[in-house]
């Protein structure tokens, strides 16, 4: 090591021995400065995160953000209640609408004609509806209607009508 470097080191050590208080104070200030820079960096990172939390700077503080969320939650609850109400309405409409149907063609007279006669069964979700029977003869066509309630009729059903009813109910 050159002579001038050794002299500088010796002067510094001598100065430190004579001024121990000032050296300690200088080191303390140096560490405080480093700590302050570290805290400043942490603070900037925290501010960035808070900006993301508060809608990109739209909310002034946490209280305002919570207030906004409560309003939004109440609005969503009202909309959900309306959706539930409409869903119940749709379910009632779906059950009461025609859902099941079947057609059975037959020949009422074994000796003449083809399968020109038919039975049409139309039912809703509760197996309530109507059976329409059409009998085709040489003299004309006759149509009969029989109401069905919960899968049964108060009028006697022919074999073809029973077959159409079972087919419409899914019993085949």
Shared-domain flag, residues 109 and 135: yes
Q: Domain span at residue 143?
A: 100-169
Shared-domain flag, residues 89 and 113: no
Burial of 170 (0-12, 13-18, 19+ CB in 10 A): exposed
Shared-domain flag, residues 12 and 39: yes
- Structure confidence by residue, pLDDT tens digits, 90-146: 988 888 888 889 999 988 877 766 788 999 999 988 889 999 999 888 788 899 999
User: What percentage of the chain carries pLDDT values higher than 90?
Assistant: 43
Provide the domain count of the chain. 3
How far, in Å, CA of 131 to CA of 124, rounded? 12
The pLDDT assigned to 55 comes to: 61
The pLDDT assigned to 71 comes to: 93
Shared-domain flag, residues 106 and 165: yes
Shared-domain flag, residues 68 and 82: yes
């Amino acid at each position: 090591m050159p002579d001038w470097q050794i002299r500088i080191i010796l002067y510094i050590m001598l100065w430190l021995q004579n001024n121990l208080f000032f050296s300690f104070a200088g080191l303390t200030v140096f560490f405080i400065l480093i700590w302050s820079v570290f805290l400043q960096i942490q603070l900037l990172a925290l501010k960035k995160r808070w900006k993301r939390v508060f809608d990109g700077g739209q909310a002034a503080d946490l209280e305002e953000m919570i207030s906004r969320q409560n309003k939004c939650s109440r609005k969503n609850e009202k909309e959900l209640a309306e959706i539930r109400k409409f869903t119940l309405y749709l379910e009632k409409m779906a059950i009461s609408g025609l859902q099941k149907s079947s057609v059975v063609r037959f020949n009422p007279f074994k000796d003449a004609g083809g399968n020109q006669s038919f039975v049409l069964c139309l039912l809703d979700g509760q197996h309530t509806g109507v059976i329409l029977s059409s009998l085709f003869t040489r003299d004309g066509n006759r149509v009969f209607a029989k109401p069905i309630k919960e899968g049964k009729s108060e009028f006697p059903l022919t074999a073809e009508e029973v077959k159409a009813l079972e087919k419409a109910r899914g019993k085949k």
